[in-house]
A and B are shown apart, each in its own frame.
Chain A
Amino acid sequence: KAGVTQTPRYLIKTRGQQVTLSCSPISGHRSVSWYQQTPGQGLQFLFEYFSETQRNKGNFPGRFSGRQFSNSRSEMNVSTLELGDSALYLCASSPSSGSQRYEQYFGPGTRLTVT
């Protein structure tokens, strides 16, 4: 099976702009989660989508939003970018049933730099 894919891999944006990141989960996986990784805060959970519904949300401002499509692909949007949003954004997918349903499989990430 192909792994989780994320596009783009690298992105440079200016403060105040908005950005959309895309994630395609492993085929058959219906749960998609997003994480932010920064040197200071480590890996932090942003939100999770399952069957096109946000099922769980981390402690991030409303500028961070997401959605999931019927084919389980997910997008994440950050509006009014701030310098502190510079980070590696990781997407992870997991199956909805079976022994692996509690395991998350990560994509390579999108490196966002805000200038």
Chain B
Amino acid sequence: DQQVKQNSPSLSVQEGRISILNCDYTNSMFDYFLWYKKYPAEGPTFLISISSIKDKNEDGRFTVFLNKSAKHLSLHIVPSQPGDSAVYFCAASVRTGANNLFFGTGTRLTVIP
């Protein structure tokens, strides 16, 4: 049972425009959410996170929004750059002391120059 879902397998955006990647979750116990970026043949690279007590967290060009009532989070990248082209995974966890990330299936972002 997939508890974290990324329903868009791919997304194409023009350079300079906004990229919006979406993620839904089903487990209401999740209280910490993360976004990772992954290039082929490499491990995921941590991008940004948000705890359930917040609804927005910003780091440079990356902003994550959390809507707890809808069990939905999104990653905004502004402006998008060709180097942002990669697969993006959202992940969720319950901060009980055990480190266990539940990952979505990923969205492949292509930024067109």
Contact = CB atoms under 8 A, between A and B. Distances in A.
Interface string B82-113: 00000001010101011111111110000000
A48 B75 CA distance: 27
A49 B47 CA distance: 23
Contacts of B42: 108-109
Interface of A: 4, 6, 31, 33, 35, 42-45, 48, 50, 55-56, 58, 90, 92, 94, 102-109, 111
Given A42-B103, A42-B106, A43-B103, A103 B46 contact: yes
A111 B43 CA distance: 11
Interface in B1-58: 32, 34, 36, 41-46, 49, 51
A56 B46 contact: no
Interface residues of B, number: 25
Contacts of B43: 4, 6, 90, 92, 106-109
A45 B101 CA distance: 7
Contacts, number: 66
B77 to A, nearest CB: 19
Contacts of A48: 98-100
Given A43-B89, A103-B34, A103-B49, A31 B99 contact: yes
B103 A102 contact: no
Contact of A104 (B95, B101, B104): B101
A76 B98 CA distance: 18
Contact of A94 (B51, B99, B104): B99
A4 B44 CA distance: 11
A94 to B, nearest CB: 6
B25 to A, nearest CB: 14
